[in-house]
Amino acid sequence: MKLHILGCYAATPRTLTNPTSQVLEIGNHMFLIDCGEGTQVQLRKLKLKFSRINHIFISHLHGDHFFGLPGLVSTFRLLGREKELHIYGPKGIKDAITLLLKLGDSWTNYHIHFHELTSAGPEVIFEDDKVSVETVPLTHRVYTNGFLFKEKLGERKLSVEAVAKYKVDKAYFQNIKNGRDVTMDDGTVLPNALLSFDPPKPKSYAYCSDTAYKPDIVGQIDHATALYHESTFLESEADLAVKTKHSTAKQAAAIAKSAHVERLILGHYSTRYKSIGLFRQEASEVFPDVELADDGKFFEF
């Protein structure tokens, strides 16, 4: 699992900072999460292949999270895209994108599937044999979801020494990987645990931006491998966090601690502060394993 930060600052683009957008590589997919202005420029800078993006997840319809989407959709067309594209986002996103395509008479030559979200509770919105994606309902000034990306449990690992020792035929190997016992010709049953090892622990990534402090998400994201949680403000501006329905770094750390996540990644910083290091300093007083997102940075898990 690998996370690329394209942009992680609040509100407006600046010469050295970009609004929110991320790419998550998980389960042979390359998912785009939010699409603020400058997303496609950042994709080029980081040498991430446009053609691998088949699923885009938009948390909410504030400009710093989706104003880059119309441009990216148009660029896909100019690049000769033929594969279908799936866009998941709040109700209204289809109207917003298709109106611009209509006014510019620039309909795509590939099919776009819009999956408009309205549920107030968590729901699975994507699933295949390797990974699932579910919404994490958040509290913001408009309808907003975070997203929880979860690997599925993989196959068990064959014990080469054990199958050789007990002279297990190769015809049984896939069944062993699937967790089944083996019955030998003489009736002896070899338990699966004797012939294989547990698969790697599935990884998960919780994306929570933008939101007011919302402790009731803890149960859903419990023990996530990594949590990205917005930290627009420091505690010195906690009154602004309440007013704008954002979070402070300390509140993000409290969520991470309660959810027992392995790693907390902070982002969506207000640019009023002289250093993003202040966010880590504040959060580390509550939760020990704190990372700072920054444009162009990537994390491997």
pLDDT the model gives residue 141:
98
The whole-angstrom separation of Cα 228 and Cα 22 is 11
Q: Residue 232 — pLDDT band, cuts 50, 70, 90?
A: very high
Class of the domain covering 2-154+200-300:
alpha beta
- State mean pLDDT over 22-48: 97
Among candidate residues 34, 64, 95, 289, the one labeled active-site is 64
pLDDT the model gives residue 218:
98
The answer to whether the annotation marks 268 as part of a ligand binding site is yes
Neighbouring CB atoms inside 10 A of 158's CB total 17
The whole-angstrom separation of Cα 162 and Cα 72 is 52
- State mean pLDDT over 28-51: 97
The whole-angstrom separation of Cα 247 and Cα 267 is 10
Whether the CB-CB separation of 19 and 64 falls below 8 Å is answered with yes
> What amino acid occupies position 10?
A
Digit-coded pLDDT (tens) for 257-278: 999 999 999 999 999 999 999 9
Digit-coded pLDDT (tens) for 148-185: 999 999 999 999 999 999 999 999 999 999 999 999 99
Residue ranges matching CATH 3.60.15.10 in the chain: 2-154+200-300
* DSSP 3-state of 66: helix
Whether the CB-CB separation of 65 and 146 falls below 8 Å is answered with no
Digit-coded pLDDT (tens) for 61-83: 999 999 999 999 999 999 999 99
What's the distance, Cα to Cα, between the start and end of the chain in Å?
5
Taking CA atoms, 245 is separated from 132, 141, 251, 274, in Å, by 28, 6, 12, 22
The answer to whether the annotation marks 185 as part of a ligand binding site is no
pLDDT the model gives residue 43:
98
Taking CA atoms, 237 is separated from 28, 233, 266, 278, 284, in Å, by 41, 6, 17, 13, 18
Digit-coded pLDDT (tens) for 192-211: 999 999 999 999 999 999 99
State the chain's maximal CA–CA distance in angstroms: 75
pLDDT the model gives residue 254:
98
The whole-angstrom separation of Cα 73 and Cα 137 is 26
Q: Residue 252 — pLDDT band, cuts 50, 70, 90?
A: very high
- Strands laid side by side in the 21-26 sheet: 112-117, 85-90, 55-57, 29-35, 21-26, 2-7, 298-300
- As a whole number, the mean pLDDT across the chain is 97
Active site residue 64: yes
The whole-angstrom separation of Cα 54 and Cα 74 is 14
pLDDT the model gives residue 48:
98
Neighbouring CB atoms inside 10 A of 72's CB total 19
Digit-coded pLDDT (tens) for 120-154: 999 999 999 999 999 999 999 999 999 999 999 99
pLDDT the model gives residue 264:
98
Taking CA atoms, 29 is separated from 18, 49, 131, in Å, by 24, 12, 9
The answer to whether the annotation marks 140 as part of a ligand binding site is yes
- State mean pLDDT over 286-298: 98
